[in-house]
Amino acid sequence: MDRSRSGGPGDRARCLLLVFDDEHERAMGRALAHALGWPLDVVRRHAFPDGETRLTLPPALPPEVVLLRGLQDPNAKLTELLLAAAGARELGADGLTLICPYLAYMRQDMAFAPGEVVSQRHLGALLAQAFDSVITVDPHLHRVATLDEVLPGRRGMSLSAAPMLGRFVADRVPGALLLAPDEEAGRWVRAAAEAAALDHAVCLKERRGDRDVSVSLHGAPVRGRAVVVLDDVASTGRTLAAAARAALAAGAAGVDVAVTHALFVGDAFAHVAAAGVRRVWSSDCVPHASNAVSVVPLLAGALERVLG
């Protein structure tokens, strides 16, 4: 059992951070527990041959429990998350908070064709039934103002890694031009640029399919500049690659990439590198070899505000 106990006895009696038995989440959990001075414990998993999972939580839980679980690969993780939340309630947790560095199923926020299920709405309802509060980083919210709207009757806190990534880029590439690959990322990239005192520009994107996109620079002044393409999520990598190719074709001195969520499914990372990108940096919301910026300070500050 992991224990991180730098706080006082009252803190240990009141709050507990729980993580699933996963290497990345255990490492993030240890750092977060240390920052908060909380104890840390593990949700243990046993996989049965038929695909079901047995979960084991600490047998007696304090009044406030925080569960850390990222939802990359969501279909495999959601069932375990909801079972763990229900078990925590049975074992004594009166207050239950979810820290979800990557919150999946947020892009489908409306029915774009008859019969489509609005996954954002329904996943939000499920999480609202299970948790009192949900904290996440850069969720894909484009048609709602706040995460509270996704979680009926509960508290949602949407944090942004944009300022952290902007300052990181400013240290590595002084004077860089931050480039948003599409209009959806424009506000996010503007926040990164303001935090780091860097210039920024926004591209126009046309999407024809999951892996078929084109990007135009829309007058972005890239010639002779060191360009860093910033986005909240890298999934197939096609948008990042298209933006990088457009910038290099227009005379950029070099192109790097920084993202919050480094999903990089399949051949995505290789595809981005093949487009001429020199370096890729990401936050540690999703485990990847490109992780360079820790969101633990963001999460710790949010927890202190949520739980007082």
Nearest to 131 by CA among 159, 103, 161: 103
pLDDT of residue 263: 96
36 CB burial (10 A radius; 0-12, 13-18, 19+):
buried
Strand 40-47, strand 254-262: pairing? unpaired
Q: Identify each DSSP E strand in 222-269 by its residue range.
A: 226-234, 254-262
What residues are annotated to the active site? 205
pLDDT of residue 4: 41
Strand 53-56, strand 40-47: pairing? antiparallel
pLDDT of residue 136: 96
- The number of residues in the chain equals 308
pLDDT of residue 63: 94
Bridge partners for 178 per DSSP:
200, 228
Strand 133-137, strand 226-234: pairing? unpaired
Nearest to 20 by CA among 43, 2, 46: 43
Both tokens of residue 15? 């709050």
Residue indicated by tokens 């890694």: 161
Domains annotated on the chain, with CATH: 9-160+294-307 (3.40.50.2020), 162-284 (3.40.50.2020)
pLDDT of residue 12: 44
Helix (H) or strand (E) holding 201: strand 199-202
Residue 250 CA to residue 227 CA, distance in Å, equals: 11
pLDDT of residue 70: 96
Residue 114 CA to residue 91 CA, distance in Å, equals: 43
249 CB burial (10 A radius; 0-12, 13-18, 19+):
exposed
Both tokens of residue 150? 């996704």
pLDDT in tens, the chain (308 residues): 444 433 433 344 589 999 998 899 999 999 999 999 999 999 999 999 999 999 999 998 999 999 999 999 999 899 999 999 999 999 999 999 999 999 999 887 777 788 888 888 999 999 999 999 999 999 987 777 788 888 988 999 999 999 999 999 999 999 999 999 988 888 899 999 999 999 999 998 777 665 667 778 878 899 999 999 999 999 999 999 999 999 999 999 999 999 999 999 999 999 999 999 999 999 999 999 999 999 999 999 999 999 87
Q: Which residues contact 236 (CB under 8 A, 6 or more apart)?
A: 210, 211, 265, 266, 268, 271
